[in-house]
């Protein structure tokens, strides 16, 4: 299985540990290649109302990834953009759309992983990123009267030692929203602050998510306000070593932020 590793631009820049964890996880399942000339998916342009300015980014994406069996990235948001808008913005890439996966979705739906060998002895709350949840239906949405499997929960439950914590307001948005975070800073920060309050009150040590962008926003507030909670990408938990000491993971976390 040839897997193309898609690393969103801001993860490459700021969160290399997330990318390393993703690489490590995927290497269990196939031959992973990281094309060095990848740039971005073009989502920032599209959600800002300038989707045509993002077409060149999609072309680069297509050139880099068209030949793989699967393209996998640790970001539901970026993957959703490619899936939802790739085909109409850059029709050439239409045939490859179905091969592009979010990391957790890939492990759950394609690999059908049942026994992740990982350990993370902490209280963890999963932040259901909106694009993963409502965009890709990775889990049960609180609005809908359906019985959907929360795929990320199932994966995290396979990790030894994890205690899953459910916060109040199971799937409220964190307020990042791409350029929303800078064009509506008052509401964005307020939403993040409220979300963090729910997570802290729930007793979780870590907030984890399949989308580092939500975590970047939340961590921005955590660091500024010195709040007693940490963020960690799902890839890092799913790739964590059995029997590794907590301090190793703490180190990984520090590197990541």
Partner 1 sequence: MSTQYKNHPAGAKAFNKNPERVSWHDKALWFVREKRDKATHGIPEWEELREIAAQIKAHTLSHLDKYLLQFEEQAQANGIHVHWAKDAQEHNDIVLSILQKHNVKNVVKSKSMLTEECSLNPHLNQHDIDVVDTDLGERIVQLAKEHPSHIVLPAIHKKKEEVGELFHEHLNTEKGATDPTYLTRAAREHLRDKFLQADAAITGVNFAVAESGGFVVCTNEGNVDMGANLAPVHIACMGIEKIIPKVEHLGVFLRLLARSATGQAITTYSSHFHKPKGGKEMHIVLVDNGRTEQLSRDDFRKSLNCIRCGACMNTCPIYRRSGGHSYTYTIPGPIGSILSPGKDLKKHSSLPFASTLCGSCSDVCPVKIDIHTQLYKWRQIIMEETNYDPAKKLSMKMAGKAMGNPKLFKMISKVGNTFLKGPRVLIYNPLNTWGIKRELPVPTQTFDDWYKKNNS
The order of strands in the sheet holding 31-33 is: 31-33, 2-5, 70-73, 100-102
- Interface with partner 1 in residues 58-87 (CB under 8 A): 59-60
219 or 236: whose CB is closer to partner 1?
A: 219
Phi and psi at 215, nearest 5°, equal: -70, -35
Which stretches of the chain are assigned E, i.e. beta strand?
A: 2-5, 31-33, 70-73, 100-102, 123-126, 163-165, 206-209, 230-233
Q: Which of 94, 149, 187, 242 binds partner 1 (CB under 8 A)?
A: 187
Q: How many residues does this entry show for the chain?
A: 257
- Using the contact rule CB under 8 A, the part of the chain among 5-13, 94-102, 148-156, 245-253 near partner 1 is 5-13
CA distances to 98, 139, 214, 217 from 72, in Å: 11, 19, 19, 23
14 or 109: whose CB is closer to partner 1?
A: 14
15 or 162: whose CB is closer to partner 1?
A: 15
Q: What is the nearest approach in angstroms of partner 1 to the Cβ of residue 161?
A: 27
Q: Which of 25, 78, 96, 216 binds partner 1 (CB under 8 A)?
A: 216
- Using the contact rule CB under 8 A, the part of the chain among 53-61, 92-100, 155-163, 240-248 near partner 1 is 53-61
Instruction: Pick the closest to residue 173 from 227, 229, 128 (CA basis).
Output: 128
Neighbours of 83 (CB within 10 A): 17
12 or 163: whose CB is closer to partner 1?
A: 12
* x-marked contacts with partner 1 along 11-50 as a string, rule CB under 8 A: xxxxxx--xx--x----------x-xxxxx-x-xxxxxxx
233 binds partner 1 (CB under 8 A): no
230 binds partner 1 (CB under 8 A): no
244 binds partner 1 (CB under 8 A): no
Pairing between strand 31-33 and 70-73? unpaired
Chain centroid, CA 18 distance in Å: 9
**Angstrom distance (rounded) from CA 121 to CA 185:** 35
**Angstrom distance (rounded) from CA 181 to CA 217:** 8
* x-marked contacts with partner 1 along 111-150 as a string, rule CB under 8 A: -------------------xx--xx-----xxxxxx----
Q: Which of 182, 228, 243, 245 binds partner 1 (CB under 8 A)?
A: 182
Q: What is the nearest approach in angstroms of partner 1 to the Cβ of residue 155?
A: 22
Pairing between strand 70-73 and 206-209? unpaired
81 or 113: whose CB is closer to partner 1?
A: 81
């Amino acid at each position: 299985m040839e897997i193309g590793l898609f690393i969103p631009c801001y993860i490459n820049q700021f969160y290399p540990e997330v990318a390393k964890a993703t690489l490590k996880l995927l290497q269990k399942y196939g031959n992973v290649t990281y094309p060095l000339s990848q740039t971005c998916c073009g989502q920032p342009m599209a959600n800002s109302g300038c989707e045509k300015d993002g077409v060149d980014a999609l072309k680069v994406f297509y050139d880099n990834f068209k030949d793989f069996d699967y393209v996998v990235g640790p970001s539901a948001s970026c993957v959703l953009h490619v899936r939802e808008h790739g085909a109409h913005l850059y029709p050439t890439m239409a045939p490859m759309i179905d091969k592009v996966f979010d990391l957790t979705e890939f492990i759950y739906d394609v690999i059908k992983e049942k026994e992740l060998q990982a350990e993370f002895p902490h209280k963890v709350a999963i932040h259901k990123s909106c694009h993963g949840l409502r965009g890709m239906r990775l889990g049960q949405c609180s609005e809908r009267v359906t019985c959907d499997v929360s795929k990320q929960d199932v994966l995290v439950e396979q990790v030894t030692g994890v205690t899953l914590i459910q916060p109040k307001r199971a799937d409220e948005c964190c307020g990042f929203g791409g350029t929303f975070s800078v064009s509506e800073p008052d509401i964005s920060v307020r939403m993040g602050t409220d979300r963090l309050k729910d997570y802290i009150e729930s007793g979780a040590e870590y907030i984890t998510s399949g989308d580092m962008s939500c975590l970047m926003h939340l961590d921005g507030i955590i660091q500024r306000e010195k709040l007693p909670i940490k963020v960690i990408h799902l890839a890092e938990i799913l790739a964590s070593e059995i029997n590794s000491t907590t301090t190793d993971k703490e180190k990984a976390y520090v590197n990541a932020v």
